[in-house]
Every structure is written in C-alpha cells, then in structure tokens.
Amino acid sequence: MPDSLTRRRFLAGLAATGVVTPWTGGGDMAPPEVTRAIVEAAATLAGLEFNDVELEDLVRDLKRDRKQWLQPSAVPNGVGPASGRVHAVHPPRPRSPSAVDPVAGSEVAMSDEDLAFLPAHDQARLIREGRLSSLRLTRLYLQRLEALNPKLLFAITILRDRALAQAEAADRDLAAGVLRSALHGVPWGVKDLFAVPGAPTTWGAKPFETRVIDETATVVRQLDEAGCVLLAKLSCGALAMGDQWFGGRTRNPWNPERGSSGSSAGSASAVAAGCVGFAIGTETLGSIVSPSTRCGVTGLRPTFGRVSRAGCMALSWSMDKVGPMARNVRDCVLVLEIIGRPDAGDPDTEARPFDAEPEWAPEDVTIRFAKSAFRGRLAEFPASLAKMFEARGFQIDESDFVFPSPAPRARLMLDVEAAAAFDDLMREGALRTLTAQGPRAWPRSMRAAHFVSGVDYVQSARERHELKVATHDAMSPGDGPLVVITPSFAGNALLVTNLTGHPCVCLPAEFIEANGHRQPQSLSFIGRPFEERALCRAAEVFQEVTDHHRQRPF
C-alpha cells in the first residue's frame, strides 16, 4: 500500500467499490456480510498477512463469532472495566505456625509401587522420621518417569541431574537437623510454562522447543527453598490449550487411548500414574479442573492473585491462576502454604499469605449445592452428601445455588489477551507450526481476535465486572464461609468462576465404565475469594469418607 494512502481514503475506496459499506449498528439495518475481500482489506489495515487457508478459516470464524461481538451492552454507564483483582469477604486472621522435628527411624517396609502412590504428606512424614530418604524416592520416581513417559507423554524434560542433587541436599539438611518445610524432600513436577534455568521452557509449542529462559520462576524458587525436589518439566498443550504438544498427545493413565485433557496435561497424568509426589498446574479456563477430572486427581485452583505467576507464560493477565495437583486435598493445602504468598514479581498477588489464613471449624462453614446441575445418575448426590456433611457439623443451606449467567461475549477478554500475548508469533507466521489448528485451537481464535474492536473489548470487561459483582452477591449471605458443590462441568460454574477468580477444589467423586475402561468423574467445591481454608476443609471431609482419590489406574 503506498505511504500516501491514508486509512480514510482506503476505506472510502473500499466503500465506493462495494467491498465495505458504512454501518453504525443502529436501526434494523443488518451489518454487511463477512467476505474474503473484507477480511483481506481489514488485515491490510492492521498490517497482517494470512495465507489462503487462514483467510478461509477467518471468514468462517468471524461469521460465527461476530453476532456475539456486536451485542449492545446493558451495563450502566458508571461501571468501568474489570481489573484482575477479586476482593475477600473476611479479613485475614493470623494463625500459629507449626514445627516438626526430624526423628531417626528404621527403613520403611513398603513396596516401590506403594511408595510411588503414597500421598505427598505421608512421603514427607517418612522422610522426616528417617524411614525414607529423599534420594530413594527421587530415584524411584525418575525410574517411573523414564519408563512410562514413552507411553503417556507427560514429561517434556526430565531433570535427572538437578533432581538427584536436590535430593542429596535434602537428605543432608535433615541429617543436620534442618527441616525446610512440611514437604521437605518430596519430589514434584512443574508444568512446562515455568522457567527453570538451564532447561528448555517450551510452553508445549514447536517454536520454543529448544528455548531456554535464564530465570527461575517464583513458584519454582519457593519450592526449591522448601526443600522439594524438582523432577521434570511436564507437558502442556501448546500455549496452554488442550493436551496436544509438539511431542504428541499426553495420555490418560486410566485409558491411554484417550488424551489426558489439558492444558495442565502432564501434571495430571504424572500424578495419576504415580510418577511425582505432586505437580504444579495453571488454569485460565479449565486447565486444572479438566485434566484433574479426566485423570482422577485432586486439583486446587486458588483465588486469582493468591499465587505468583512471575516466570510463567502469560495467556490472560486477568485470568491466569497457578495451583497444585496431587493425590488428595491435604497435599494441595501443604503446597499452597508454600507458594500462596505475595510476590513483587507479580503485581496481582495479594498481600495475604495463605499460611496465615484462618482455620475454620465445620460449624462455621455452610454447604450449599447447585442442585439443578445434579441430573441423571447424580440426582441423589446432594441429599446424601448433605446428610454426610451435616453429621460432621457443617451447616447446610437447602436452597438451590444457581450461578449467574455470563454475557454472550464473556470470554472475549481471554481471546483478545491471548492474541496480544502471542501477537509476535502470529505476525511471524509461527502459529502455523503448532500441532493443533482446529476451529477452537489458539491459532484460529488468536487470528480472529485481531478483528475485535477496542470498544467491544471494554464492553466485555464491563460485563465481566458485573458478573463478578453478581457472583459475589450470590455467595455472600451468612456470617461464615460458604462452599458450593457442583458437578465440575454442569451448567456454567467453570466459566463463571474462572472469569470471577473464585477458588475451586476439583476431586474425583465416582467412576463410570466407558469403552471398557474405568473413567473418573469429579465434583467441584467452590468457595469465596481467599477462603481456600474453608473450601479445603469441606473437601478433606469428603475424602475422609470416600476412597475415589485412592484408586490407581494400574
């Protein structure tokens, strides 16, 4: 395009030729039909280049999505766009820290298989008692990772030398009477969105297969300082979507013919397969809940702002959250006590460390069910669970909890922020190298997001703010914490609570037969912002009376 061709003259020329027509969105006049010529013209204005296949995909995607984008906003004029922050219902109350002295003991008499599937807090106890060395457990897990990874594809980089050195250091510390945390010596894995010096940080994407980021992510540093042993960088769907990465599809240990779901794919698969004590995942819109459900592990998605994301790939600055995935709720709580604290590297972290949050007695906590979401074989769950919780001292609210409905363009902010985060990849053509190129894969949604107007983005943010307020109000009645229990994928709870930043524990609640395989199904326990203690207390009680979380895939 000649330098002298201005935007106004360019649009005027397009209008004169009939490629575009003036449209204000008012009256009964329909917007112009999306055509390839219009998309090419808009791309030229934006300085973007697409090949023929991408242009045809864009025409289809824009036709599909434009109706939502052009919705008039019903938000009052005084409501501004959402920030990433959520606000706590109750002020924090300090609690006394606990300390455990290491004790020497005889070697534990337990098979390697049983050790591998032992909860992390039990592994840590055996290490503290001198009955199990961190080095023995680390070698066991390295052996299992290397044996099962070709089948399950859950690890991108196994950090053998680093892990062995950390395990030896953890054992030396204990011998000297130094206990760094309640999970001292326990081996773990991290989703390969987090930077670890000297190792590739691939984000699951082909363009970054060999890229090394010379920094230590805050979460990795915190767990290093806690005496934990990092075994591997675990697989994630490319750019944090799904379970497909440049090395293949991460598999579900319960049925290796299926994927593990994602995008915290390797974190869930490795925990379920007994190859790490616990793992770190991330969630923007289901990436902890979905693979935790598929693989039958326990996932804790903390309140937005609870855990630092410094040194982690950004997908959506206003929605990204970091949380633990483990074999039970108690393990997740112990991990969150280490990583749940403010960090100058992430301005969205709140100045309220999780290990200083109050403990809640059952009688202080109210349980409520999203009853209308429990259908079919799940219809009897609320009544039976209510009896169980009431017998253990919890308050029961019998009314049906209904999550507010999000606006049609609710997730528009995610698509636009993701497109901004990876704008350079699109402009360089690197999105074309990603394995997943389907209708809802990142390459296509990111390309389409470049055509969202700034006005529509802000309207989406304002509507999201209203959703936050509505959800806060719906969960606010009563003096103590509230825990809402719902099937993880029924209704709109997953979408709403990711948009609002509310915390969630996802845990296995039953198994069904599917194509000759046992398949875990999950419930989600959802709490109010920064009330993870109450949320986890209720979830722990559920796991005390059930054994779904103790099942093994092999």
Helix (H) or strand (E) holding 335: helix 329-339
Whose tokens are 């995008």? That residue is 263
Three-state secondary structure call for residue 543: helix
Which residues are marked as active site?
Answer: 191, 263, 287
483 forms beta bridges with 367, 527
Amino acid (1-letter code) at residue 9: R
CA distance 499 to 495: 6
CA distance 37 to 17: 11
Q: Work out the burial of residue 52: count CB atoms within 10 Å of its CB; fewer than 13 is exposed, 13-18 middle, 19 or more buried.
A: exposed
Q: Work out the burial of residue 71: count CB atoms within 10 Å of its CB; fewer than 13 is exposed, 13-18 middle, 19 or more buried.
A: middle
- C-alpha radius of gyration, the chain, whole number: 25
CA distances from 358 to 50, 98, 361, 434, 534 (A): 54, 14, 10, 45, 9
CA distance 115 to 105: 17
Q: Output the 3-class SS for 505-538.
A: EEEEEEEEEECCEEEEEEEEEEECCCCHHHHHHH
Sign of CA dihedral 197, 289, 263, 529: negative
CA distance 426 to 49: 9
Three-state secondary structure call for residue 339: helix
Closest-CA residue to 306 (of 29, 92, 491, 44): 92
Query: 152 near 258, Cβ under 8 Å?
Result: no
CA distance 444 to 298: 32
CA distance 195 to 181: 22
- Helix ranges, 340-428 (H): 381-391, 412-421, 423-428
